[in-house]
Amino acid sequence: MIQLDQVSKHYPPPKRGGPAVTALNEVSLTIGAGEIYGIIGRSGAGKSTLIRVINRLEAPTSGRVLVDGVEISALSGAALRRERRGIGMIFQHFNLLSSRSVFDNVALPLELAGLPKAAIKARVEPLLELVGLTDKRDRYPAELSGGQKQRVGIARALATEPKVLLCDEATSALDPETTRDVLRLIAEINRKLGLTVVLITHEMHVIKEICHKVAVLEAGRVIEQGSVFEVFTRPQHPTTRSFIGIVTGIDLPPSLANQLQAEAQPGGEAVLLIRFTGDSADQPILSRLARHHGIDANILSGRIDHIQGRPFGTLVVSLPNGETLGTALAFFQSHQLSVEVLGHVAPALLAAG
């Protein structure tokens, strides 16, 4: 549905004679029809640039962007305007016109496309119904809550019956409960209309809530991508791990978290994070480790979460450093478990903790 093929975007240097800014660096992505695809990255990673090359608000410096088989990156003028009607977009700060009512905000793209009044009414009313704002049709943006404003934004984005909905930090200005409501609405629209959704965010819980696939962007490059379940349960890159750590909340006792050190302590223990997926969750891994290798793991915390409706567990354990640690890591890996050394502590601390 959407294909980015070796897309780079360089901006002119901020200071004359300085280096150009590389916002995107040979990004290749394939987003399937009907998917909700999340793109996550820290500030400055290139997320906004990426979403803006998809609807050609920015032209890539090199590479190609195809939307539904059409190379949008090569279009201009009337052909580009026509293609853009097939791509709706919603924004962090909603971008509504304050002088227009809810109805008239949603009607705006249709007026611009030259539709007659009756056709506009016939299109706008069901959209207001879909986003739950029928009773607010004559209100003005200043009279609406943030969540209601974003619903108007969504209805307006859908007015031209697009195939793709781009969401640019669409929930970042909303409180957690309203965020959940708006995300649920986006997921419902995705299901009902079969719309392809591309969502950029710096918050992993947004990805966890509704996305099917995710790409992690860092310094203009895709450093990891895959299904949300795969990426959450087997994160490969340290940046992905830190994003996920925030969401799955590894519950280390604070006294332990404060004492974690990067280097092994003489005679101390290593603290490991083990991630279990549905397939491995029912295996008695720790008792097998004890039986087969004589290694006793000390359980420090554990938790079960659900991602895309599938169970996923995290367990934090400690083990003696040295040879034992190597044997245990090899054992966990041979059972296809994702395992990460969080740090090292002195033995007295664990005994006290």
Ligand X SMILES: Nc1ncnc2c1ncn2[C@@H]1O[C@H](COP(=O)(O)OP(=O)(O)OP(=O)(O)O)[C@@H](O)[C@H]1O
Q: Which residues bind ligand X (CB under 6 A)?
A: 11, 21, 23, 41, 43-49, 202
Q: Considering beta carbons, is residue 13 or 278 the nearer one to ligand X? A: 13
Contacts of 297 (CB under 8 A, 6+ apart): 272, 286, 289, 290, 317, 318, 319, 328
Judged by CB, which is closer to ligand X: 94, or 332?
A: 94
Residue 256's closest CA among 345, 341, 348, 347?
345
Tally Cβ neighbours within 10 Å of residue 119. 12
| Cα gap 33→319, rounded to integer Å | 46
**Matching residue, tokens 């800014």:** 21
Distance between CA atoms of residues 261 and 343, nearest Å: 5
Minimum distance from residue 53 beta carbon to ligand X (Å): 10
Minimum distance of ligand X from residue 297's CB (angstroms): 39
Give the full edge-to-edge strand order of the sheet including 338-345.
Answer: 298-307, 310-320, 269-277, 338-345
Query: Which lies closer to ligand X via its Cβ, residue 17 or residue 254?
Result: 17
Taking the least distance from each CB to ligand X, the nearer of 35 and 58 is 58
User: Mapping DSSP to helix (H, G, I), strand (E, B) and coil, where does residue 67 land?
Assistant: strand
- For ligand X, the closer of residues 90 and 128 by Cβ is 90
Residues paired with residue 10 on neighbouring β-strands, in sequence order = 22
Rg of the Cα atoms in the chain: 24
Q: Which is nearer to ligand X, 23 or 197 (CB)?
A: 23
Residue 221 Cβ, how far from ligand X at the closest point, in Å?
A: 12
The minimum distance between CB 20 and ligand X, in angstroms, equals 9
How far is it, in rounded angstroms, from Cα 316 to Cα 300? 5
**CB 203, min distance to ligand X, A:** 11
Q: How far is the CB of 76 from ligand X (least distance, A)?
A: 19
Spatial distance between the Cα atoms of 123 and 115, rounded to a whole number of angstroms: 10
E strand or H helix at 311: strand 310-320
**From CA 217, how far away is CA 7, in angstroms rounded?**
13
Q: Strands across the sheet with 2-11, in order? A: 21-31, 2-11, 62-67, 70-71
Distance in Å, CB of 145 to ligand X, minimum? 24
Q: Which is nearer to ligand X, 90 or 102 (CB)?
A: 90
